């Protein structure tokens, strides 16, 4: 539950406009996030409620698991939001789960829009110039592509278009939202693939090689490569414990190498 909440907050704050633009076909140039009063229904809160150009309310629910009562939840949200705002409402459920859910209630003709992420072609988002949309493509339909190949492509594209600090941020976002599709292991594999082809591109790699040579020619090559890997992992946002596991070195030694820039 906690990880699900973190993921929703990341999507809400960082990629809400791209969900709307590339998935819903709605341009959100002028929006206002509404406060909790508009979002609360009974003991629950709607995920995203925004006023669009003062014309209507856009309500999005980000659903990572199957809910047999989703339609009734959405109906209660509609009634509550409508009562407060008095504006027309467009409702969407962005479904990240493996199952389809009903988007209507027969008894009184209520319905809303259901977007199943796994039915959206990943190229729709991957071929954009928006890092937010590119990250979101990991939740789409890979068609006949290998998941590791697609994930690697996402990482390489982000790395080529972003500065290091920004890349690190999106790297962590990708890792987080991949959990909605149970793909964290795939992301780790793609990360390792990226590491294998790009260590020498990092300034820390050259620094590590130089220091390594000072300790002897043969041993220096090996030590320099390890130092380069450690600093590359650190620059990509890995914590000390994770780096220690990946390079098979004690955490204390990892910290010393990172501090010795």
Percent helix, strand and coil across the chain, each to the nearest 5:
60, 15, 25
- What is the mean predicted confidence (pLDDT) over 158-187? 84
Range of weakest confidence among 33-47, 64-78, 237-251? 33-47
Residue-level pLDDT at 45 = 64
Report residue 121 as tokens: 């072609």
Beta-strand (E) ranges in the chain? 31-33, 40-41, 44-45, 48-52, 56-63, 89-95, 104-105, 110-111, 113-116
Residue-level pLDDT at 214 = 43
> Higher confidence at residue 160 or residue 113?
113
Read off the pLDDT band of 208 (50, 70, 90): very low
Read off the pLDDT band of 30 (50, 70, 90): low
Nearest to 52 by CA among 20, 100, 83: 20
The gap between the terminal CA atoms of the chain, to the nearest Å, is 39
Nearest to 174 by CA among 192, 188, 193: 188
Residue-level pLDDT at 215 = 44
Any idea which residue has 């909440």 for tokens?
5
- Number of C-beta neighbours around residue 175 at 10 A: 17
Model pLDDT for residues 115-154, shown as the tens digit of each residue = 998 889 999 899 898 998 999 899 899 888 888 888 888 9
pLDDT at residue 245 tops 60? yes
């Amino acid at each position: 539950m906690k990880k699900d909440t973190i993921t929703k907050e990341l999507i809400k704050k960082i990629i809400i406009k791209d969900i709307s633009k590339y998935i819903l076909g709605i341009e959100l140039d002028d929006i206002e996030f509404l406060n909790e009063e508009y979002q609360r229904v009974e003991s629950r809160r709607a995920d995203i409620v925004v006023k669009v150009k003062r014309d209507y309310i856009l309500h999005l629910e980000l659903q990572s698991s199957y809910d047999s009562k989703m339609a009734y939840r959405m109906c209660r949200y509609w009634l509550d939001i409508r009562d407060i705002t008095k504006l027309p409402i467009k409702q969407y459920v962005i479904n990240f789960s493996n199952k389809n859910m009903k988007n209507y209630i027969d008894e009184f003709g209520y319905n809303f829009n259901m977007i199943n992420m796994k039915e959206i072609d990943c190229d729709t988002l991957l071929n954009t110039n928006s890092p937010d949309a590119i990250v979101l493509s990991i939740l789409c339909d890979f068609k006949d592509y290998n998941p590791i190949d697609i994930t690697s492509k996402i990482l390489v594209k982000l790395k080529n278009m972003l500065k290091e600090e920004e890349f690190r941020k999106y790297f962590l976002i990708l890792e987080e939202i991949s959990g909605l599709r149970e793909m964290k292991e795939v992301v780790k594999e793609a990360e390792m693939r990226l590491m294998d082809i790009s260590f020498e591109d990092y300034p820390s790699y050259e620094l590590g090689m130089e220091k390594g040579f000072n300790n002897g020619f043969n041993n220096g090559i090996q030590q320099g490569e390890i130092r380069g890997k450690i600093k590359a992992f650190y620059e990509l946002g890995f914590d000390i414990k994770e780096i220690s596991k990946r390079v098979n070195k004690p955490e204390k030694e990892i910290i010393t190498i990172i501090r010795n820039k």
